[in-house]
Amino acid sequence: MKVIDLFCGAGGFSEGFRQAGFEIIMGIDNDSVACQSFAANFPDAQIICAAVTDIKKLPAADIIIGSPPCQEFSIANKKVTDPNPYLIYYFLYLVNKHHPKFWVMEEVMQVKSYLPGNLHCQIISAESCGLQHFRKRLFAGRFPLTITAKTNKYNVRYGTPTTQCFCKKNKNLDFYTSYLNEHKKKPDMKAVKRIMGFPDDYIFLGNKGEQARQIGNAVCPPVARTIAEAIKKGV
């Protein structure tokens, strides 16, 4: 099944679907550095470095996925009191125009009040997909999925790659937790990739700050893979 990734960033959403056996045919984003990272990891896919709102027509695909920028809606953003949902609505416009068999949009939970009431939505925590942190996101669209929240027995909390980590050493994370606890440092890029569920060989281009931003903005690949496998099972 063919997949198009809107607001693709460096490709975390696409990576999860690729791991589940789907074909990524296109990624679209206006972040030039993130587009370079996407192209490096998906050399067979078409990458369009442009605003998604400039896109009027998409090629045929079975699935459309995407993660419209959500910083305005985040509870961490205290400056924006009246967020603009235009990019979210444009994503919905493209979905309605092209009628894919399945589609999935990832957002922060605060976006739910801006979505149609009859739209299928599910909140998924990263820990329920095997990761060691409590990052929760809203997934809306047409996809079969039910996940029961699990308790993280290690009490490891990573919100985003830019947060300081407070954790207890455990066998799954001991390649960096002992170092971080001893030196009170933030994770390096290798550790950050693993925290978010990226393979060690996944390529992020740009300087260290640009890489951290790309990873922090990404959909965790194991979460995306969980959704993709549910779609695959339901076909």
| pLDDT value at residue 168 | 41
* pTM (two decimals): 0.84
Q: Indicate the SS3 state at residue 227.
A: helix
Per-residue pLDDT of the chain (235 residues; tens, 9 = 90+): 999 999 999 999 999 999 999 999 999 999 999 999 999 999 999 999 999 999 999 999 999 999 998 756 554 444 545 578 899 999 999 999 999 999 999 999 889 988 988 899 999 988 888 787 778 899 999 999 776 545 555 444 444 443 334 344 444 444 445 445 555 566 678 878 888 899 999 999 999 889 989 998 999 999 999 999 999 998 6
Give the per-residue pLDDT at 199.
Answer: 93
Tens digit of pLDDT for each residue in 70-117? 756 554 444 545 578 899 999 999 999 999 999 999 999 889 988 988
Whose CA is closest to 192, among 137, 136, 131? 131
pLDDT tens figures, 104-120: 999 998 899 889 888 99
Catalytic entry in 8, 35, 70, 220? 70
Cα 113 to Cα 179: distance, rounded to the nearest angstrom: 42
Bridge pairing between strands 63-66 and 23-29:
unpaired
H or E segment and range at residue 85: none
Phi-psi region of 214 (alpha: psi -120 to 50; beta: other; left: phi over 0): alpha
pLDDT of residue 176: 45
Domain extents for the chain?
2-234
- Is position 35 annotated as part of the catalytic site? no
The encoded tokens of residue 132 equal 């060691």
Residue 45 pLDDT = 98
CB 204 within 8 A of CB 75: no
Query: Options 3.90.420.10, 3.90.1010.10, 3.90.79.10, 3.40.50.150; which CATH number does 2-234 get?
Result: 3.40.50.150
